[in-house]
Copies of this chain bind each other. A is one copy, B any other.
Amino acid sequence: MISRKIKSQLAGGSQIRKMFEEGNRLKAIYGPDKVFDFSIGNPDLEPPHEVSDALADICSNPVPGMHGYMSNSGYESTRAMIAEKRSKESGLSINPGAVCMTVGAAAAMNDVLHALLDDGDEVIVLSPFFMEYNGYIANHNGKVVVVPTDENFMPVISRIREAVTDRTKAIIINSPNNPSGVVYPASLLKELNDMLKSFNHTIQVISDEPYIDLIYDGISVPCAMSYIDNIVVCFSWSKSLSLPGERIGYTLVSPKNADYDDLTAAIVISNRSLGSVNAPAIWQRVIEKSLYAKVDVANYEHRRNLLYSNITDAGFCAVKPNGALYIFMNTPAGLDDEEFADKCAAHNLLLVKGSAFACPGYCRLAFCVSEQTIRGSREAFFIIADELGISHRKAL
């Protein structure tokens, strides 16, 4: 009875469920403080006070019709504020009409892909990547084309060029990246733009940007819109304001996009037709009042530092992530990601194998877990290193 698409996703989904269940099983046996679960990327910080202040203010000062329908693209006033903010950041002149409020970035990406894809159109993704993209692309009958990044997880322009065909409709980029945490430099974005524009047909860049505010080491994230013309941004406040359960985000079509008129209109229709209809009214109002607020990023940076030290002090290797919520560590020589993940699980240390991001040879650890869990896990990293004959770089 179930559609073939969903059947294949049901089979895939059960692996993730297995991992959750394994964590719960171990916690029941050893106690929650003896299990170090780095598998789940759930932002655990509370929203900044601006959010609760805005929410309280909205509830205390109700306006007639405040829970009613608005335009499918969202409130004009909310979109105007976002357009203003992104204009300042990008140096472009962005109108409210470029923005469509969405039920988070996942809905934003579905809206854009639905607007773009005909059966069999190809979408390039850069491994390692967030594998939900496979489902989003399949939902709209597209074909996923995976192009591996380099050893530092940076996109390789020549590889992408070779993957382009007449059916290439779009490429998804994601910086800061899940799972690698790397940030793409401006020069790379510029090169990507030049390369894509050398083809005879338009190739859209879909920039998935939920992590742009989670950035460490004092660096800044180059604004993809400033360097790429045919671009649609997909944003979510799930991480920036720690509101993942509330579903609020947007799409933004660059004013430089060759298909600006068609795309802005088509995305709004997608947003209605795919069932969101519009983003939740109350969260649009909250966003207006807390647009420039952010979660406590220093807290995430502190925990990243602790977990990164555990990994590298014990003797393992990982590229230090400049953003997002994950460390994508190398699997030690001689072990594939499944074997390594199993070895770690034997010491109650749970991580996600790189194959789940189309990138075996690595494992992902989310550092949005308690400091206690990170500190508690240090010994396990050292014991696993000992078992594998890996020399520590620092003392336990």
Contact = CB atoms under 8 A, between A and B. Distances in A.
Interface of A: 1-6, 9-10, 13, 42-44, 46-47, 51-52, 55-56, 59-60, 62, 64-70, 102-104, 106-111, 114-118, 121, 132, 135-136, 139-141, 169, 202, 204, 242-247, 258-259, 262-263, 265-266, 269-270, 272-283
28 contacts: A1-B116, A1-B259, A2-B259, A2-B263, A2-B266, A3-B116, A3-B117, A3-B118, A9-B269, A13-B269, A43-B68, A44-B65, A44-B68, A46-B67, A56-B60, A59-B59, A68-B245, A69-B244, A102-B275, A103-B247, A106-B275, A106-B276, A136-B273, A245-B278, A245-B280, A247-B277, A247-B278, A274-B274
A64 B169 CA distance: 42
B59 A52 contact: yes
Given A262-B2, A266-B2, A276 B275 contact: yes
B59 A280 contact: no
Given A1-B262, A135-B273, 11 more contacts: A1-B169, A6-B114, A10-B262, A10-B269, A43-B68, A52-B62, A55-B59, A68-B242, A132-B272, A132-B273, A141-B141
A361 to B, nearest CB: 27
A261 B136 CA distance: 24
A3 B115 contact: yes
Contacts of A104: 275, 277
A276 B69 contact: no
Given A259-B1, A259-B2, A69 B109 contact: no
A66 B245 CA distance: 8
Nearest to A283: B280
Contacts of A276: 103, 106-107, 247, 275-276
Contact of A281 (B56, B139, B202, B246): B246
A6 B269 contact: yes
Nearest to A169: B1
A46 B64 contact: yes
Contact of A244 (B67, B132, B243): B67
B140 A114 contact: no
A56 to B, nearest CB: 5
Contacts of A47: 67
A76 to B, nearest CB: 14
A22 B60 CA distance: 37
A297 to B, nearest CB: 17
Contact of A1 (B102, B263, B270): B263
A262 B111 CA distance: 26
B1 A275 contact: no
A274 B244 contact: no
A72 to B, nearest CB: 10
Nearest to A202: B1
Contacts of A67: 46-47, 51, 242-246
A2 B51 CA distance: 37
B42 A2 contact: no
A78 to B, nearest CB: 12
A106 B277 contact: yes
Contacts of A169: 1
Contacts of A9: 269, 273
B246 A280 contact: yes
B139 A274 contact: yes
A107 B135 CA distance: 17
Nearest to A204: B1
